[in-house]
Amino acid sequence: MPEQKSVRQPNNDFNTKRKLMSLVVVFILFLAAFSFLFVNEQIWLVFFVVAPASVLVISIAYHLPQTSSAARTRTLQSKVITLENEVITLRKQIKTMEDNLLQTKESLAQTEKMASLGQLSAGVAHEINNPVGFMMSNMCTLKEYTYFLDQLCKHLLELMSGLTKQEKLKHEEVIEKIENTLKIEDLDFVLSDANALIDESLTGCTRIKGITNSLKGFVRESQDEQELLVNDLIEETLNIVWNQIKYSCTLEKHLNSQALVKLVPSSFNQVLLNIMVNASHAMEGLNGVLTVRTYDIEDSVQIEIADTGVGIEKRNLNKIFEPFFTTKPVGQGTGLGMSISYEIVTAAGGTITVSSEVGEGTCFKIRLPALKEI
C-alpha cells in the first residue's frame, strides 16, 4: 500500500489568523506614522522595526505547529500502514491455524472411527476364529477317515482278487455291485482327490486364522513394549495388506534379519502398513515391484521397503514427515500417516529416512536398535 502524501489545505481558522495578523501590522504602522507626525521622530522608528519583526514572529509561531502536525500525521500514517500489514499477516496466520485445526479435527474423527472399527474387528476376528478352529479340527479328522477308507478299499480289492470261482458265484450279486461302482467312479482318483480337497481346505482355514490373528495384533490395546522379530511383524502386516497391494504389484521378500527388537507391535505394524499402502498407491497401473528386505547391521536391524512407483519430487522429500503434508488429492489423505510413523520409529529409538527418484520409485529405510540374536 503506497504512502499517501498529506497536503495541508487552508481552512477557516488559518484565514482568520491571517486577517488578525494583517490588522496588527496595519495598527503598528498607524502608530509609527502617528508618532512620527505628532509625538517624537525617534519613536516611529521603533514601531517601524517592531512591525515586521512582530509579523515574522507571529508567522513562525503559527507555522511551527503546522509543521509539527504534518510530521506527526506522516508518522501516524506510517504506523497505520505497518499495523495494517501486521493485521493482514495475522489474518493469514489465523487462516492457516483454522485450516490446521480443521484437519486435526477430521483426523481425530477418523482416528476415533478407526478405534471403534478396531474394537469391532477384534470382536469379529474372535468370532471367526471359533468356527475356523473347529473347521480345522474337523478337516484333520476327516483326513484320518479318508485314510481309513482308502485302506479299507485296498483290503476289499485284495479280498475280491483272492476269491475262488465258487466264492465269487456265492457272492455274485455283491461283487457285481462293487464292480459296477468301480466302473462308474475311479476309486484311486476319488481317494486321492478327497485328500487334496481336504488339504486345500486346511490351507484356507490356516490362512483365515493367520489373517484374524494378524488383525487382532493390529487392534490390540496393549501399548507395552515386547521383544520380537521384525520379520514376524512384516509377515503379519503383509497378511493384512496383501489383498490391497496384490493388484498393483508383485512382492519380493528378503527377510534375513535374526535379531530381536523391543517395541510396541501394534504401533510398528501401523508404520509398515502406511509405507506399504502408499507404495501400492504409487504403483497403481504400473505393474510394479514391492521389495521388502531386513538384515542386521552391527547392533541394529535395517528394514528397507522399496517400490518402483512414480516417485516423489525432490522439493517434497523434506516435507514427507511433516504433519498434514500429503501429495494425494483432497479427501484422500490426512497427511498424518508418515508424521505419525516418524514419531513411532523415533519413540522406539530408531531412525527412518526416505530416498526417491521421479519415475523410478521410492525407498524407505528404517533402522532399529537390536537386542540380541536368537
Kindly indicate the confidence band of residue 289, based on its pLDDT and cuts at 50, 70 and 90. Answer: very high
Lowest mean pLDDT among 18-22, 34-38, 124-128: 34-38
Distance separating alpha carbons of residues 84 and 185, to the nearest angstrom: 94
Q: How far is CA 117 from CA 23, 103, 112, 270, 326, in A?
A: 95, 21, 9, 15, 24
Angular region, 287: left φ>0, alpha ψ -120 to 50, beta rest = left
Over residues 191-237, the pLDDT tens digits come to: 788 888 888 888 888 877 777 776 666 555 556 788 889 998 898 88
Place of cell 517400490: 307
3-state secondary structure of 35: helix
Could you give the CA distance from residue 50 to residue 28 in angstroms, rounded to a whole number? 8
pLDDT band at 177 (very low <50, low <70, confident <90, very high): confident
CA distance 334 to 105: 10
pLDDT score of 163 more than 50: yes
Answer whether 327's CB lies under 8 Å from 354's CB. no
Share of the chain above pLDDT 70, in %: 66
Mean pLDDT of 303-314: 91
Instruction: Measure the CA–CA gap between 225 and 265, rounded to whole angstroms.
Output: 7
CA distances from 45 to 28, 35, 109 (A): 11, 9, 95
Question: For the ranges 85-89, 181-185, 249-253, 286-290, which has the lowest average pLDDT?
Answer: 181-185
Cα gap 364→374, rounded to integer Å:
26
Q: Is 1 exposed, middle or buried (0-12, 13-18, 19+ CB in 10 A)?
A: exposed
Q: Which residue reads 484311486 in cell numbers?
A: 188
- Measured CA to CA in angstroms, residue 356 lies from 133, 152, 301, 314, 359 at distances of 45, 64, 22, 8, 9
305 close to 290: Cβ distance less than 8 angstroms: yes
- Residues 39, 21 contacting (CB under 8 angstroms): no
- 153 SS3 class: helix
Beta strands 288-297; 351-357: pairing state: unpaired
pLDDT confidence of residue 366 = 94
Residue with cell 476327516: 142
**Is-contact 190 154, C-beta < 8 A?**
no
**pLDDT band, very low/low/confident/very high, at 331 (cuts 50, 70, 90):** very low
pLDDT the model gives residue 197: 87
Rg of the chain, C-alpha, whole Å:
47
Residue 21, C-beta contacts closer than 8 angstroms, at least 6 positions apart? 55, 58, 59, 62
Least confident of 105-119, 140-154, 246-260: 105-119
| The three cell numbers locating residue 80 | 497505520
Whole-number Å distance between alpha carbons of 188 and 185: 9
335 HSE (CA, 13 A, CB side)? 20
**Which residue has cell 527377510?**
255
End-to-end CA distance of the chain: 71
**What is the phi-psi region of residue 39: left when phi exceeds 0, alpha when psi lies from -120 to 50, beta otherwise?**
alpha
pLDDT tops 60 at residue 36:
no
As a whole number, the mean pLDDT across the chain is 75
Distance CA 264, CA 347 (A): 10
Average pLDDT value for residue range 47-74: 60
Compare 269 and 120 and report the one with higher pLDDT.
269
pLDDT score, position 150? 81
H-state helical runs in the chain: 12-34, 41-161, 165-170, 172-184, 187-219, 230-245, 265-282, 314-317, 337-347
Is 80 exceeded by the pLDDT of residue 123?
Answer: no
**Alpha-carbon gap, residue 317 to 315, rounded angstroms:** 6
Cα 51 to Cα 32, 61, 119, 217: the distances in Å are 9, 15, 101, 104
pLDDT score for 324: 61
